[in-house]
Amino acid sequence: MSTQALQTPLKIQTPTKKSAGHIIVDTLVAHGVERTYVIPGESYLDVLDGLHHSPIETVVCRHEGGAAYMAEADGKMHQRPGIAMVTRGPGAANAHVGLHTAWQDSTPMVLFVGLIPFAHRDREAFQEFDIKAWFDTGAKRVMVLDHAERASEIVAEAMFAAMSGRPGPVVVGLPEDVIREMVDPALHPVIPVASGGMTVTDWKELKNALKESTKPLFVLGGNDWTQEGTDALAGWLEQHHLAAAVEWRCEGNVPFSSPSYVGPIGYGRPKPTYDLLEETDLLIFVGTVPGDVITDGFLVRQDWTKKNFLVTIDPSLRGRSGPVSHQIVSKPDVFVRDLAIMDLEAKPEWKSFTERMRSEQEKFAALPPATPSEGPARMDTLMANLVPGLPHDAMITLGAGEHTNWAHRYFPTELYASMISARNGSMGYSVPSAIAASLNFPGRRVVTIAGDGEFLMNGQELATAAQYGATPLVIVMDNQEYGTIRTHQERHYPDRVSGTQLKNPDFALMAQAFGGFGIRVENDADIPAALEAALQAIDEKGQFALVHLIVAQRVRAY
């Protein structure tokens, strides 16, 4: 080596700096995020710029409520948070509905909110608001990126917080000027999430409780499952002739066709499961707790002598009511892993109890006649013609209203996350969640049933479906009223209809205007042909399809 070479100083390459906004995107990629649902705003342009060449698909929505719902639905379908991005002030306000859904449904979700520049804070700047005061009571954490060098750390913390313990929403504020600062591009590592599991004591307590029980019932709920976990649990339940019900709007946590499945428990529950919580001598809740909806407003299963085992990763048991005999701090899949090695001799009483309840569920779910009746269109006829042709992996999404009961009764939810719905009773969820499902699982049959009142709250997101190639089948059940509220009204204020009646446009024409297939059905006899045409448009033309079903008022699924 020459003397000159020895004298030449070594050049140490320093990493190229990146803007904090671009580092936020890089960190989301490192966490496995595949898409984000956005309404753009000048407050977070640098993040949008970072998404430009990113592998993350940017789904541009038409309203912040729709974007937040799509992100919340995305979180229900994956073992990671759904991601939404909105701007400050009005944008954040509009997204709040999705955040409340994620909070009450225990859904992992991260909402990024662009903020005013750091230097403008506390001066009543344009669209300024106090992000912590707005969201602190409805999110697991609210964080603000005040130091650009912490961009990756803040995102990693947000993703961790959304998934750890009882899952839920996290809000991250992004000041407009801070995200443009150039900093070291090193990424914060993914923070592992604890999954818990059964201790030796837990295992023995549960085994002894089952051995002493003659009518045990598992109640499955929440979004914190995988297909492998639900498959393993269904196999174990069937092997031991044990019964399982599902939390309201969690159908699919045990297969619809499983001999162990005995029906849903929650609002509007069918008669077969109405008294089940009181009849059983042992309840094992997995992934959920006996809260308001399950217990009919904290009325059912409140006797402190009853035996309840609660399996949840949330040690605080938030939302629980009634007795707790034993808590097992575990995520559902890990609990099932430990349960699968429990060798129990199936009792004849278990089998007879499960077979009786399963028989009731089968009678309840038996399809009505597919042959149309004379007169106005009926949801019964539509379901009878739709269900037999559904593939094994068909999905259903729902918002809120009595129209959802046709799906609860008849739709065959065979796989985990085959029912994506809002358990907080939030309206306007059906169309956005169907779009998110179709984008996540292209090629699967995605159906949504929307009420006429609910549909117009986010029906404009059909433009998003057309833009990104989502192909759900949208059934709009049009009875010209807010049906659920009318039912409560008739109960408390009979014959005084007020504030519940609607006059609707032609939703089929609306679907066509957005670039999809739309058909209006007024007569029952026209349902089979209309349904066939709608499915043909989806399968052959790659369009979303909407069936506008004009039905009589006060006709309910059960």
Quick check: is 273 in a domain? yes
Q: What tens digit of pLDDT does each residue of 34-50 get? A: 999 999 999 999 999 99
CB 393: neighbour CB atoms within 10 A?
Answer: 12
Residue 246: which CATH number? 3.40.50.1220
- Structural domain for 538, as ranges: 367-550
Residue 325 resides in a domain: yes
Q: State whether 211 and 170 are in the same domain.
A: no
Is residue 421 located within the same domain as residue 450? Answer: yes
d(Cα 274, Cα 103) in Å, to the nearest integer?
A: 27
* CA–CA dist 253, 225 (Å, integer): 8
Tell me the average pLDDT across 149-164.
98
Cβ neighbours of 506 (radius 10 Å) = 14
Sign of CA dihedral 103, 109, 114, 119: positive
Amino acid identity, position 179: I
Euclidean distance between CA atoms 463 and 466, whole angstroms: 5
pLDDT of residue 116: 86
Q: Is residue 192 in some structural domain?
A: no
**Domain identity same for 178 and 80:** yes
Please, are residues 83 and 92 in contact by the beta-carbon 8 Å criterion?
Answer: no
- Last residue within a domain, chosen from 183, 211, 245: 183
SS (H, E, C) 357-376: HHHHHHHHHCCCCCCCCCCE
Residue 100 lies in a domain: yes
DSSP state of 108: -
Q: Which helix (H) or strand (E) holds 35?
A: strand 35-38
The sign one gets for the Cα dihedral 166, 304, 262, 346 is: positive
Measured CA to CA in angstroms, residue 418 lies from 106, 268, 443, 479, 513 at distances of 17, 20, 14, 26, 29
Residue 63 lies in a domain: yes
With contact defined as beta carbons under 8 Å apart, do 439 and 36 qualify? no
Residue type, 554: R
Alpha-carbon distance values, 144 to 44, 171, 178 (Å): 13, 8, 10
Residues 356 and 373 in one domain: no
pLDDT in tens, 183-199: 999 999 999 999 999 99
Residue 15: pLDDT band (50, 70, 90) is low
Total count of domains within the chain: 3
The predicted model gives 238-255 an average pLDDT of 94
Q: Does the pLDDT value for residue 526 go beyond 90? A: yes
- Same domain for 232 and 104: no
Q: Are residues 273 and 336 in the same domain?
A: yes
With 0-12 / 13-18 / 19 or more C-beta atoms within 10 angstroms meaning exposed / middle / buried, residue 6 is exposed
Q: pTM value? A: 0.93
Average pLDDT of every residue of the chain? 92
Q: Render pLDDT for 299-345 as a digit per residue (tens, 0 to 9).
A: 889 999 999 999 999 999 999 999 999 999 999 999 999 999 998 99
> Does residue 523 fall inside a structural domain?
yes
Same domain, yes or no: 95 and 238: no
For residue 187, the SS3 value is: coil
9 within domain boundaries: no
pLDDT per residue over 378-403, tens digit each?
999 999 999 999 999 999 999 988 88
* Residue 8 within any structural domain of the chain: no
Residue 26 has pLDDT above 60, yes or no: yes
Same domain (yes/no): 373, 345: no
Which of 312, 328, 363 is where one domain is finished?
A: 363
pLDDT at 271 exceeding the cut of 90: no
Cα–chain center distance at 520: 29
For the cut 50, the answer to whether the pLDDT of residue 4 exceeds it is no
What pLDDT, on a 0 to 100 scale, did the predictor assign at position 554? Answer: 77
What average pLDDT does range 509-521 have in this prediction?
97
345, 390: one domain:
no
pLDDT value at 260 more than 80? yes
Among 363, 383, 403, give the residue marking a domain's end: 363
Q: What is the CATH number of the domain that holds 371?
A: 3.40.50.970
Torsion-angle region of 222 (φ positive above 0: left; ψ -120 to 50: alpha; else: beta): left
